[in-house]
Chains A and B, each alone.
Chain A
Amino acid sequence: MPDTQAAVAPRALTEKTLRVPTEKLPRVVIPARLRRFLSPLALVLLWQAASMAGLISPRTLAAPSTVLASAWELVLSGELPSHLLVSLGRVLVGLGIGLSAGVALALIAGLSKRGEEVVDAPMQMLRTLPFLALVPLFILWFGIGETPKIALVALGAAFPVYLTLFAGIRGVEPKLVEAAQVFGLDRRGLVRHVILPGALPSALVGLRYALGSAWLSLVIAEQINATAGIGFLINDAREFLRTDVIVVGLLVYALLGLGADALVRLAERRALAWRPTLVKG
């Protein structure tokens, strides 16, 4: 749309106001997708210029060029990949435990009345706790090794999935369940063909929240006496006032979060192809 606008605008509505400038400017048409990146790019260039002009001290914030160079060095030395693997490992194990627990509890609470009575009340109470505030307790319980870090990630991932899957199961259209019953589906068939697919959109939203929450938990967890991982890289860099390395660590966190979100969105597009908003014609 913006492309055509750029091409058509001078002759259409804006003839009078825009005639002079458009005749003088060369017609460079930038695709809309790229245009979104223009202002972030401008900010980075501004940052670079300010750093080069000495307006931003490297102790406050390293220049983008320095950050890139340090990132490259860290990759080449193998330092960044090894820390990244440690962090990824923590997230994957924590997510595995947290998602399994969240899904299992949501199925128990969602599919049976008694299960709801037993499971839902404590889950709703616990969820009001800011789970990051549990760090001191976790250190007392699990020490300062890998366990409290993984436990924190697991806890951060479990609640969003529990809440959304439980709500999704309970939100399945009763009329659809009724129709499926008329057509001979038993309890298992109902769960498999009606209830779980119906709860899936909600559960996938929960999965995205869970991933976001897991990354946040990882950042906090890696502040606990870590000797490896992206968080350790950042803390270690702080000791030496290496703002460039700190920014590299932050960028890695951001990219991991983006990547995870993109994966879930891809999964959504495949699993929810039936949704009216995604169905074409």
Chain B
Amino acid sequence: MADIAPPASTPLRVRNLTRRFGRNTVLHGLELDLAPGSFTALLGRSGSGKSTLLRTLAGLDPAPAEAVLDLPRPVSVVFQEPRLLPWKKVWQNVALGLGGGDARGRAARALEEVGLGRHLEAWPATLSGGEAQRAALARALVREPRLLLLDEPFAALDALTRIRMHSLVLDLWRHHGPTTLIVTHDVDEAVLLADRVLVLDGGRIAADLTVDLPRPRRHADPGFATLRRRLLGELGVDLQEAA
């Protein structure tokens, strides 16, 4: 798949995004710019509006008329749960809604890329949690998205599977080069994966940090610990407590 040159992409630009649920303002005139092909992590406490932002970008929640949303397209999403249709075989799930010819061949190649080449004909119910989430990744990638949204995609996986998924996601991102935004509550995951980490608080971007560490990144790196401490501070976690 390395032979597919990422097509020229537009930057992501969000202006004046306000979302209210009743009297509760979740996003407050939010502004966001993401460079084409960048990998950004969005951190925030629960209820900080990070999921609302991602759902709005994915087109699942309506954007208010006064908001500006310039997004690279097509957009693909990987949810926290795999959300595979249990009545369709794995390859059919990946090929779901795929326009153009040879849907099966493209689905098969995407599944091979995530290491599920032998599970094309399997029912989703027979997959492990990690395998199902890899199938969900294949389903997102087969559409060759220019914007890839990941909504806490590894939160439900065990620690070992999560480590493997991290390197898989980085590989796929390098090969395909979509602008990638991962929503997570895991500071380590954010620093490990992303080039830029945003902290959402009170409906606004409260912190914007560049992660300037060489890959592959290690927890033992002193820069890693510094960033981690700063981010935890932004999230309101007492450092002495956290350590």
Does B bind A?
Answer: yes
A residues at B contact (CB < 8 Å) = 175-176, 178-185, 189, 193-194, 197-198, 200, 272-276, 279, 281
State whether A274 touches B125 (Cβ < 8 A): yes
Interface size on B, residues (CB 8 A): 23
B59 contacts which chain A residues (CB < 8 A)?
182
B86 contacts which chain A residues (CB < 8 A)?
274-276
State whether B60 touches A197 (Cβ < 8 A): no
Shortest CB distance B4–A (Å): 19
A200 to B86 alpha-carbon distance, docked (Å): 12
State whether B87 touches A185 (Cβ < 8 A): no
Given that A175-B79, A175-B81, A179-B83 are known contacts, is A193 also in contact with B88, CB under 8 Å in the complex? Answer: yes
Within 8 A of A (CB), among B33-82: 58-60, 75-77, 79, 81
Among B59, B97, B126, the most chain A Cβ lie within 10 Å of the Cβ of: B97
Q: Chain B: interface secondary structure?
A: loop
State whether A185 touches B97 (Cβ < 8 A): yes
A273 to B123 alpha-carbon distance, docked (Å): 9
With beta carbons under 8 angstroms apart, the residue of B81, B123, B124, B143 that contacts A183 is B143
Contacts A178-B83, A274-B125, A276-B125 aside, 15 further interface pairs with beta carbons under 8 A come to A175-B81, A178-B60, A179-B77, A179-B79, A179-B83, A180-B97, A182-B60, A183-B139, A184-B98, A194-B85, A197-B85, A273-B123, A274-B87, A274-B124, A275-B86
1/0 contact string of B93-126 vs chain A (CB within 8 Å):
0001111000000000000000000000001111
Given that A183-B139, A274-B86 are known contacts, is A189 also in contact with B125, CB under 8 Å in the complex? Answer: no
B124 contacts which chain A residues (CB < 8 A)?
274
B residues at A contact (CB < 8 Å) = 58-60, 75-77, 79, 81, 83, 85-88, 96-99, 123-126, 139, 143
Among A176, A179, A274, the most chain B Cβ lie within 10 Å of the Cβ of: A179
Given that A197-B87, A274-B125 are known contacts, is A182 also in contact with B96, CB under 8 Å in the complex? Answer: no
With beta carbons under 8 angstroms apart, the residue of B87, B97, B123, B126 that contacts A184 is B97
State whether A274 touches B123 (Cβ < 8 A): yes
A175 contacts which chain B residues (CB < 8 A)?
79, 81, 83
A276 contacts which chain B residues (CB < 8 A)?
86, 125
State whether A182 touches B76 (Cβ < 8 A): yes
A194 to B96 alpha-carbon distance, docked (Å): 10
Q: List, sorted by A's number, 20 A–B pairs whose CB atoms are closer than 8 Å.
A: A175-B83, A176-B83, A178-B83, A180-B96, A180-B97, A182-B60, A182-B76, A183-B96, A183-B97, A184-B97, A193-B88, A193-B97, A198-B85, A273-B123, A274-B86, A274-B88, A274-B123, A275-B125, A276-B86, A279-B125
A176 contacts which chain B residues (CB < 8 A)?
83, 85
B143 contacts which chain A residues (CB < 8 A)?
183-184
Shortest CB distance A9–B (Å): 36
With beta carbons under 8 angstroms apart, the residue of B75, B76, B85, B125 that contacts A180 is B85
With beta carbons under 8 angstroms apart, the residue of B76, B87, B139 that contacts A198 is B87
A275 to B125 alpha-carbon distance, docked (Å): 7
State whether A185 touches B96 (Cβ < 8 A): yes
